[in-house]
A and B are shown apart, each in its own frame.
Chain A
Amino acid sequence: MTASSALPVSLLVPWAAGAVLIVLDGRRRWVAWGGVAALVATLLVLLALTVQVVGQGTQQVVTGGWPPGVGIVLRADALGVTFALVSVLVLLAALTHEAVTTPRVPAFPGLVVLLAAGLTGLFLTGDVFNFYVFFEVSMTASYGLAAYGGGADQLRAALFFAAVNLLGSFIFLIAVAGTYHLTGALSMADVAQRISTADSNAALLVAVGFFVAFSVKLGLFPFHSWLPTVYAGASPAVAAILSGAVANIGGYGLLRFGSGLFPAQLRLTATGLIVLGAASIVYGAVLATSRKSMAEMLAYSAIGQVGYILVAVGLGGPVGLEAAVLYSVVNALNKGLLFLTSGVRGPLVAGAFAIGALSVAGVPPAIGFLGKLELFRAAIVANSPALVVLFVAGSVLSLLYLFRVYQRTYWQPEGGDDGSVSGLPVRALAWALAVVVVGIGLWPQPLLMLSERAAHALSGGAA
Chain B
Amino acid sequence: MNLAFASAAAVLFGGGAFLLLQRDLLRIVAGVALISQAATLTLIGVSRSRGQAPIAPEADLPVSDPLPQALTLTALVIGLATLALLLSMVDRLVVVFDTAYQQPVPDEEEDQQEDQEADQQPDQEADQEADQMADQKAVRTAGEDQHRQRAEEQPP
Residues of A within 8 A of B (CB): 101-102, 104-105, 129, 132-133, 136, 140, 143-144, 147-160, 162-163, 166-167, 169-171, 173-174, 176-178, 180-181, 186, 228-229, 232-233, 235-236, 291-296, 342-345, 409, 416, 418, 420, 422, 426
Contact = CB atoms under 8 A, between A and B. Distances in A.
Given A166-B82, A170-B36, A229-B105, A343 B113 contact: no
A418 B120 CA distance: 13
Which size class do B's interface residues fall under?
35 or more
A236 B146 contact: no
B47 A177 contact: yes
A331 to B, nearest CB: 22
B68 interface: yes
A236 to B, nearest CB: 7
A160 to B, nearest CB: 6
B118 to A, nearest CB: 11
Contacts of B47: 177, 180-181
Interface in B96-144: 96-97, 102-103, 105, 108-109, 112-113, 116-117, 134, 139-144
B107 to A, nearest CB: 11
23 contacts: A136-B78, A140-B81, A140-B82, A151-B143, A152-B147, A153-B108, A154-B143, A154-B146, A158-B89, A167-B20, A167-B32, A170-B39, A173-B39, A173-B75, A180-B43, A180-B46, A236-B153, A291-B113, A292-B117, A293-B113, A342-B153, A344-B155, A416-B151
B85 A140 contact: yes
Task: Identify whether the interface residues of B are mostly helix, strand, loop, or mixed.
Answer: helix
A152 B155 contact: no
B71 interface: yes
Contacts of B144: 150-151
A166 B20 CA distance: 11
A144 B85 contact: yes
B39 A420 contact: no
Given A416-B152, A422-B155, A296 B25 contact: no
A147 B90 CA distance: 11
**Quick one: which of A101, A181, A426 has the most chain B CB within 10 A?**
A181
The 8 closest A-B pairs by CB, nearest first: A151-B146, A181-B46, A150-B143, A150-B141, A149-B143, A173-B39, A170-B39, A177-B43
A159 B90 contact: yes
B154 A418 contact: yes
B32 to A, nearest CB: 5
A170 B38 CA distance: 8
B150 interface: yes
Given A159-B90, A235-B150, A173 B43 contact: yes
Contact of B105 (A156, A174, A176): A156
Contacts of A160: 102, 105
Contact of B92 (A155, A171, A422): A155
